[in-house]
Amino acid sequence: MHSLTSGLHEVMELPPPAEVELRVEDEDGGERLDAYLADQLDDLSRSRIQKLIRQNQVWVNGTVCASKKAIVQGGDRIRVTIPDAEPLDIQPEDIPLDVLYEDEHLLIINKPAGMVVHPSPGHAHGTLVNALLWHCRTAAGESTLSGIGGIQRPGIVHRLDRDTTGAIAIAKTDQAHLHLQQQFQEKTARREYLGVVYGVPKTERGTVDAPIGRHPVDRQKMAIVPEDQGGRRAMTHWQIKERLGNYTLINAALETGRTHQIRVHMTHMGHPIVGDPVYGSGRSIGVNLPGQALHAWRLQLQHPVSGAAIAATAPLPDFFITLLDVLRKRS
């Protein structure tokens, strides 16, 4: 057994089925087991984690834990065994991909707006996974993606919202998947975003350190929620890139990776992302946007096998460029 926190070389030696070992930090104590694992293992859905718990694939302090509602405590050691993926029942689809980097271990693409990352109710087709299954397959039609994410998330290591564009990394092997997962957990992988917000922040740069959790009323939304009420610590570093009259182009770097983090934090600051249909102001800006003006423009990580530094830069989508042009002319 090897630990995800025990070093990159050990992770690279992990055989399938994969085993993930975590140590609960004191600040994370008091969380339900399934919620804690869903937060720590971004590539596994909560339903997938609950299934693993039911299948006796989760150990807490050396003992099988079959209750998803078990409460974790600081210092607990949790081991999760992730069996080989079941045969995929999701159909490959010939959807063009904007490839930023690719080799036999790793793929980085520039995701367009409107593309859901993985299949879900109401989104059975046209997802990034459908496209990846077509792009990453053998001559015999077998998937060459990592199976750690299960049937619905093969190769998926981290997420981008449906209408957020930009760089997203995909693992082609289980070895690469575990290595990349560790980088995101240990914050050695760096994700930077460009976003256009309403208004002008009072300072040139800053940090939002505010916990995020599920909205207490609208369960489809996230919100600032105190940690003692289930919120998870979330930190976003931002700085002004360009002032555009009553709007601002910002650069945001993630210290943590909570769902909708930048969108929630910018709204919390009083400067929601332009075009955000969930957290935005609803004001028309006169430019046809497919969603929020938020773009993951730069992804820096270590190659999971060679160890080389990789920096992938995703060009801005056309709608984002048009938005900037219009705001520059107005200002």
6 lies in some domain: no
The SS3 call for residue 62 is: coil
Residues 181 and 199 in one domain: no
Q: In the chain, what are the helix, strand and coil shares in percent, each to the nearest 5?
A: 20, 30, 50
At residue 11, the pLDDT reads 33
- With vertex at residue 156, the alpha carbon angle to CA 38 and CA 145, rounded to the nearest 5 degrees, is 135
* Preceding amide of 119 cis, omega within 30: no
Residues 203 and 121 in one domain: no
| 191-224 burial: b if 16+ Cβ within 10 Å, else e | bbbbbbbbeebeeeeeebebbbbbeeeeeeebbb
pLDDT tens for the chain, 331 residues long, are: 333 333 333 333 333 457 888 899 888 889 899 988 988 886 677 888 998 999 999 999 999 999 999 999 999 999 998 876 555 568 899 999 999 999 999 999 999 999 999 877 677 789 999 999 999 988 888 888 888 777 667 889 998 999 999 999 999 999 999 999 889 888 899 999 999 999 999 999 999 999 999 898 887 799 999 988 888 899 999 999 999 999 999 999 999 889 999 999 999 999 999 999 999 877 778 888 999 999 999 999 999 999 999 999 999 999 999 999 999 999 8
296 Cβ contact list (under 8 Å, min separation 6): 111, 160, 164, 165, 166, 167, 168, 191, 192, 193, 314
At residue 135, the pLDDT reads 93
Give the other-Cβ count within 10 Å of 125's Cβ: 11
Residues 144 and 220 in one domain: no
- With vertex at residue 201, the alpha carbon angle to CA 197 and CA 322, rounded to the nearest 5 degrees, is 30
Residues 166 and 200 in one domain: no
H/E element, 247: strand 247-254
93 lies in some domain: no
Q: What strand order describes the sheet that includes 58-60?
A: 18-23, 77-82, 58-60, 63-64
> pLDDT for 241-263, tens place per residue?
999 999 999 999 999 889 999 99
228 lies in some domain: yes
Residues 324 and 238 in one domain: yes
**Amino acid identity of 283?**
R
Residues 37 and 156 in one domain: no
Q: What are phi and psi of 269, to 5 degrees?
A: -75, -15
Domain housing 106? 99-186
271 lies in some domain: yes
Residues with a catalytic annotation lie at 161
CATH code, domain with 211: 3.30.2350.10
Residues 166 and 254 in one domain: no
Residues 162 and 196 in one domain: no
